[in-house]
Amino acid sequence: MSSVMEQVSVDELPLPGRLRELLAEMGIRELFPPQVEAVKKGLLDGRSLVVSSPTGSGKSLIALLAAARVVASGGRAVYLAPLRSLVYERAVEWRRLLEPLGGRVAVATGDYDRTEPWLADANAVLVTYEKLDSLLRHRVAWLNDVDLVVVDEAHYVGDSRRGPVLETVIARLKTMSEDLQVVAMSATIPNAEELAEWLGAELVVSDWRPVPLREGVAYGSRITWDDGSEQRIARYTGTASLDVALDAVAEGGQALIFVNRRRKAVELASRLAELATTRLELRRLLAPEDNPLGGLLERSEHRELNRLLHRLAAYGVGFHHAGLAAYQREAVENAFRRRVLRVLVATPTLAAGVNLPARRVVVDSMYRYSGGKSTPITVAEYKQLAGRAGRPGLDREGEAVIVARDRRQALHALQAYIHGSPEPVLSKLVSEKALRSQVLAVVASGVGGRGGVKKVFENTLYAKTYGLPDAHIEKTIRLLEDIGLVASGSGTVEATSLGRRVAELYIDPLTAKTMLRGLSRIRTKRMALHDALFIAIWNTDSVLVRPPRRLMLHLEAEAEEYLEGLGYDTYSELDAASIALAAQALYTVDVLVDWIMETPEDEILAKYGIDPGDFRAVTEAAAWLVYSMQQLAAETKHPAAHWLSLLETMVKHGVREDVVELVKLPHIGRVRARLLNRAGFMDLHSVARASPEELAAKVPGLGVARAAEIVQAARRLVQERR
Ligand SMILES: Nc1ncnc2c1ncn2[C@@H]1O[C@H](COP(=O)(O)OP(=O)(O)OP(=O)(O)O)[C@@H](O)[C@H]1O
Ligand SMILES: [Mg+2]
């Protein structure tokens, strides 16, 4: 634990250029305790560090100081985070503070099948874990020349989905540069020492928080705090979570209620707003002067949801979950940040993404729902939620309160969660799915035979803990060889050109296998829309729409028949999980066909009961998979390769084939593309020949200035094609 309360002034640090003044302008003069410790342990001498400390304890500045030193001395720094939102947040700070020191800061989070050549000129690169994995798969040269890698939220190493990516990425970077400085930062974890050993790093452990955190359990009409004290809470609504939240609001704070289901988030928020319509006392407590979400009513899509968010905001209440579209989430977050919303009911996705603290965090349940089952959340998850409590500069203290349903639960919450310590972070590298993907990635990045592959895996946390997973690696190589993705001899192993392509496309080797098999059965120039979509999305890389349970049996029967038609022997070749997945895929194909047939988005959402955020995820994943399938078709000289590239645009934009060209233009989405088409603009040429005035006159709602941009772009595209 941090032993010192020693003051270290920023002035005493050997900082490059104007960094000292820039930090002072931001109000940073003294170091926070974990920062003092990091400097003492050699942060500014290029030592590797593992920093395990609470939310808001200033880990970002630790990363920045390391990056500043590297950049100012002509080196290259890379920052890795699990979410785009975190990458962008850090990039803003790095631009402001590193560019005056000669930093050339670049961000890349987008599509995986890109080498992003412009990154070579940057000396401070911020990316997600997966983006870096993708760059490594493309054998991007500058990656051989990295001096510092900052790993943010390093406890993700223990995540069963993202962990193997992160672990292998770090292992590969370490293999590529002997004296790489690794600064791994994480929330409090009990086995930070193990991570430090893995990385050859010094350890900085601290439990210091800028705003102290008090934790308690609510049961009955009381909160029992962690110091044993008790507090009565008023009965505003009779719903425990709301009453605990309102108790903080009554004292001038804001409250964040975490619930485990989206529906619950909407229900609780609605109930509170509903009560406030009739109860003056609640209205006084909550209602803002102006509705902060007025802007949402101007949108032409997602009308129902926008009206609901707006109505709740009038009473100072909001909800937030992954089903909301990105713009809706952002609007809610901003309103909460501006303190206009007093109570926000959210699912845990909020805690992982943006930095949105509140005076009081209310944990509505210690259970999580998935697939109809409820399982207890981990202590680490609870600590993550609780960590959102307390806004620096606004709250003297943050409070986290777990709501218990009975006395037993209350006791358990206190012992297991509040006084409990988070679970250790353990390697999840050895699962079939993770190894398939990572072994192919490592082989494809050309590390030099079996020896090279093993050298990389020796640098993983898994190998450091349990020894090299030799047998697993060999088994995986054999599987990849069966699919035709690698070729191996004694001591040698290399990726085939197909294998390299699959690694670059960032799809599961089994996904590639399914696609290749489907393509080899249908060797026509155009495929049936339905077949092409099904083959593209029947895999675990896709995001599927969940059918209503009552349809499942019927869909599974349909799926079996359909798969037989595709040449599968469903009895001997496929297990129950593949068939259930096929049923979901068939259902999702219907959704995608509606989308491509230009059914209005709101109609699709209502028909299938999909939330906007999920719908976006479904179409994006499908577009990516169709692209991947197109690339495999091109690689194997399949006659449908050209048509599949049209299909990719159709899926991406939700349009029929005849306007695929038009959606390439700026300001032209699926709706305007159809309007243009109806007005007689059938292709890029006809738009390029038009005058902006003509275009504006024929397309309702299009101004002349926009029309001019569109015509310009069309002319450029036509030119390029010549
Ligand atoms: N030495 C300092 N003096 C004053 N303010 C500081 C100092 N160091 C950091 N801060 C501020 O404190 C906040 C700490 O946030 P930071 O992003 O570093 O938290 P973190 O440790 O990364 O937490 P999390 O685990 O939530 O990511 C930032 O707003 C930052 O500007
Ligand atoms: Mg951080």
Q: Does ligand 1 have an atom closer than 6 angstroms to the CB of 31?
A: yes
Residue nearest to atom 24 of ligand 1 (CA): 55
144 and 62 in a common domain: yes
> Does residue 1 register a pLDDT over 60?
no
Q: Is the CB of 60 under 6 A from ligand 1?
A: yes
| Residue 426 maps to a domain | no
User: Final residue of a domain: which of 392, 418, 444?
Assistant: 418
**Residue 425 domain-assigned?**
no
Residues 399 and 535 in one domain: no
Counting the structural domains of the chain, the total is 5
Is the CB of 61 inside a 6 Å radius of any atom of ligand 1? yes
677 located within any domain: yes
CA angle 646, 499, 643 (to 5 degrees): 10
Q: Which ligand is nearest to the CA of 355?
A: 1
Q: What CATH number should be reported for the domain holding residue 605?
A: 1.10.3380.20
Q: Give the N- to C-terminal CA distance of the chain in Å, as an integer.
A: 67
- 686 within 8 A of 680, measured Cβ to Cβ: yes
Shared-domain flag, residues 52 and 103: yes
- Interval between CA 56 and ligand 2 midpoint (Å): 7
Q: Are 375 and 460 members of one domain?
A: no
Q: Quick one: pLDDT at residue 5?
A: 60
For 201-226, the pLDDT digits (tens) are: 999 999 999 999 999 999 999 999 99
Distance of CA 640 to the CA centre of its chain: 33
Q: Quick check: 3 pLDDT over 50?
A: no
Ligand 1 atom nearest to 53, measured from its CA: 21
Which ligand has the nearest atom to the CA of 151? Answer: 2
Please give the model's pTM, rounded to 2 decimal places: 0.94
CB of residue 59 inside a 6 A radius of ligand 1: yes
Q: Is 543 among the domain residues?
A: yes
Q: State the burial class of residue 14 (Cβ atoms within 10 Å of its Cβ: 0-12, 13-18, 19+).
A: exposed
Q: What is the pLDDT of residue 489?
A: 87
Indicate if ligand 1 lies below 6 Å from the C-beta of 605: no
- Length of the chain, please? 722
What are the strands, taking DSSP E only, across 438-545? 486-488, 493-495
What is the CA(64)–ligand 2 centre distance, in A?
A: 11
627 and 602 both lie in a single domain:
yes
CA dist 692 → 659, 678, 699, 700, 713 (Å)? 19, 17, 11, 13, 12
Q: Is 573 exposed, middle or buried (0-12, 13-18, 19+ CB in 10 A)?
A: exposed
Answer whether residue 372 is part of any domain. Answer: yes
Answer positive or negative: Cα dihedral of 119, 122, 127, 133: positive
Best residue for ligand 1 mutational test, from 29, 61, 355, 383 (most atoms within 8 Å of Cβ)? 61
CATH number of the domain that 706 lies in? 1.10.150.20
∠ Cα 438 441 442 (to 5°): 90
Q: Per-residue pLDDT tens for 571-605?
A: 999 999 999 999 999 999 999 999 999 999 999 99
Q: Does residue 56's CB lie within 6 angstroms of at least one atom of ligand 1?
A: yes
Cα(425) to ligand 2 centroid in Å equals 18
205, 237, 260 - which closes a domain: 205
The tens digit of pLDDT for each residue in 493-533 reads: 999 999 999 999 999 999 999 999 999 999 999 999 999 99
Say if ligand 1 is within 6 A of residue 187 CB.
Answer: yes
Q: What local confidence, expressed as pLDDT, does residue 614 receive?
A: 97
Q: Please indicate, yes or no, if residue 515 is contained in any of the structural domains.
A: no
Domain boundary among 604, 631, 653: 653
Q: Give the helix, strand, coil percentages of the chain, each rounded to 5.
A: 55, 10, 35
Do residues 386 and 215 touch, judged by C-beta distance below 8 A?
yes
Distance CA 305, CA 262 (A): 13
Residue to mutate (ligand 1; options 22, 37, 51, 59; most atoms within 8 A of CB): 59
Tell me: do 685 and 668 sit in the same domain: yes
Q: Which residue's alpha carbon is at the smallest distance from atom 10 of ligand 1?
A: 58
Does residue 331 form part of some domain?
Answer: yes
Could you tell me if the CB of 32 is within 6 A of ligand 1?
yes
For residues 443 and 411, membership in a common domain is answered with no
CATH number, residue 438: 1.10.10.10
| pLDDT(435) > 80 | yes
Minimum CA distance residue for ligand 1 atom 27 = 55
Report whether residue 563 contacts ligand 1, using a CB cutoff of 6 Å: no
512 token code pair: 């590639």
The answer to whether 385 touches 351, Cβ cutoff 8 Å, is: yes
Report the nearest-CA residue for atom 4 of ligand 1.
Answer: 28
Q: What is the pLDDT of residues 127-150, one digit of tens each?
A: 999 999 999 999 999 999 999 999
pLDDT, tens digit (0-9, with 9 covering 90-100), for 549-558? 999 999 999 9
pLDDT at 369: 83
- pLDDT, position 370: 78
- Please check whether residues 235 and 180 belong to one and the same domain: no
Whether residues 195 and 218 share a domain: the answer is: no
Instruction: Report the percentage of the chain scoring pLDDT > 70.
Output: 99
Q: What is the pLDDT of residue 2?
A: 43
Question: 326 and 438 share a domain?
Answer: no
Q: Kindly state whether residue 577 falls inside one of the protein's structural domains.
A: yes
Of 243-252, 303-312, 473-482, 697-706, where does mean pLDDT reach its minimum? Answer: 697-706
Atom number of ligand 1 nearest to Cα 57: 21
> Model confidence over 633-650: pLDDT tens digits?
999 999 999 999 999 999
Centre of ligand 1 from the C-alpha of residue 5, in Å? 17
Q: Could you give the CA distance from residue 492 to residue 450 in angstroms, rounded to a whole number?
A: 5
Q: What is the mean pLDDT of the chain?
A: 95
Q: Which domain holds residue 626?
A: 527-653
